[in-house]
Amino acid sequence: MNDPLDPKADLALWYVHNRRSDHAMRLIQDLIDHDYDYAYAIEGTMYQLGGDTVPVDLHRAAESFRKQAARLPCATCYLQLAHALLDLGGDARGEALTCIEAVAAHGNPPDTELAFARFHHTAEPPDLRAAARHYRRAFFRGRTWGGRHLARLQWARRQYLRAMLVAAATWLAMPFFLVFVGKKSRNTFDGVN
């Protein structure tokens, strides 16, 4: 059964992704007031992306994602929280790793591989070998972003032939992933960027 607030939530998300936070804020507050299940996730995304009247505020984004994860614990909520915490950097990286490991321990969806890869890729110093391993795993589990990031990583490491082969394999695999994996290959951890 559909929630009668779903169209309002869809509109709020459209405003958020089009950086029209002035319109989104009113809708999000209404969703929160009406106890909509995903209201805090939409709010967190708004603060993570910023907009015309709301600057990027990663601390508020992480707080909104924490509220969402406490309200409706699921892999997506924890991965959104981990994404915001990785954007924050510093001490927040430890909490991000805890979130990613918790998701991996409870079902390990393919997007977890992208989260682990990003964690290793953005570490100081970066662990590029571990990042490449997780990008490869994500790709083989149907996430084309894994192949795209792996190709970029190899190009940056001056492994040009490997990068071109991975990029070509990713492009050739996309129709297969879209037909056989379906919606699962479209919703990725890095889809926000």
Residue 192 has pLDDT above 60, yes or no: no
**Cα gap 131→117, rounded to integer Å:** 4
Asked whether residue 133 is assigned to any structural domain, the reply reads: yes
Q: How confident is the model at residue 87 (pLDDT cuts 50, 70, 90)?
A: very high
Asked whether residue 3 is assigned to any structural domain, the reply reads: yes
Asked whether residue 94 is assigned to any structural domain, the reply reads: no
Contact 156, 144 (CB under 8 A): no
What are the pLDDT digits (tens) for 43-85?
A: 999 999 998 888 999 999 999 999 999 998 888 889 999 999 9
**Cα gap 157→71, rounded to integer Å:** 42
Asked whether residue 99 is assigned to any structural domain, the reply reads: no
Domain co-membership, 191 together with 113: yes
Q: Report how many domains make up the chain.
A: 2
What are the pLDDT digits (tens) for 122-156?
A: 999 999 999 999 999 999 888 889 999 999 999 99
Backbone angles phi, psi at 136, to 5 degrees: -65, -45
Asked whether residue 91 is assigned to any structural domain, the reply reads: no
Domain co-membership, 122 together with 191: yes
Q: Which domain holds residue 73?
A: 1-77
